[in-house]
Amino acid sequence: MSSAFLAQSDGGGGSAIGTLFYLAVLVLAIAGCWRVFAKAGQPGWAVLIPIYNFYVLCGIAGRPGWWVILMLVPLVNIIVLAIVSIDVARAFGQGVGFGIGLLLLSFVFYPILGFGSAQYQGASH
């Protein structure tokens, strides 16, 4: 193969479809989280504010707001996010498996939680 062949590009035609797919998934995930916050009696717009959204999520999960600081600590943040995800699932009457889904596939599970029939039952603590 010549170097001229390797330098050729297709003009980026496939990237437009990928970008639209990404935006569609992003909008669905934001809408799902917005509905989860609204079901829990919190302002939906809080989803759009970084750091504050985790503070509100801690409240929904029944965890103290200072856990936001723990999110700044490497490796500890993974454990904190797992605990909060499981507690959010429990607050909506779901199990640990659903909480792990919230952790690992949040763009799928938050819309399921938000648009599904699950009702906020309050924090289990």
Q: What is the pLDDT tens value at each position of the chain, 125 positions in all?
A: 444 444 555 555 568 899 999 999 999 999 999 999 999 999 999 999 999 999 999 999 999 999 999 999 999 999 999 999 999 999 999 999 999 999 999 999 999 999 999 999 988 76
Per-residue pLDDT, 12: 54
Q: What does residue 94 show for φ and ψ, rounded to 5 degrees?
A: -100, 170
**Structure letter (DSSP) for residue 60:** H
Per-residue pLDDT, 122: 85
Burial class, 10, CB count within 10 angstroms (exposed 0-12 / middle 13-18 / buried 19+): exposed
Per-residue pLDDT, 13: 56
- On whether the CB atoms of residues 114 and 60 are closer than 8 A, the answer is no
